[in-house]
Structure 1
Amino acid sequence: MDNVDDFPGHIACDPRARSELVIPFWSAGSVVGVFDLDSYAASRFQESDQTGLAACVRLLEGAVDWHPTLM
């Protein structure tokens, strides 16, 4: 998200955050967590950031034994 202030209902972890990148962790068809990265700079994240971090999240998804109560 280029500017969190443009998103109605956004819940900020830090009021100084201006942009955010969120990538879900999936297991058995359910979201079991999220990788949430904030920046104080608007438009901080590029498509290449999303692609690279999503690849890391996919690796973690396969390496973690997700507890059944999360699904």
Structure 2
Amino acid sequence: MICRTRRRGRLGFTLELTAGPDTVTAAVSDPNPAHPRERNPDLGGGSGGFGWHMIRRLTHHLTITPGPGYGKTIHAQLPR
């Protein structure tokens, strides 16, 4: 069984979740063509820095593809 949901954010990003028998895939598209970069997490100011570290540790498979349009899509596959 595959279940899909899609949500478009106010800042121009799209999140699509796909659930299969053994994995969940999250696809995040945004208008920025730059690849994500690791940075030191901000432990006090709340400006982030945790997401890319988490995604890289939790995923079984991770790809970044150009598009749609000018931006990129990050596909992260996680075990169920």
Q: TM-score, normalised by structure 1?
A: 0.28
Q: Name whichever structure is richer in strand by fraction.
A: 2
Q: Name whichever structure is richer in helix by fraction.
A: 1
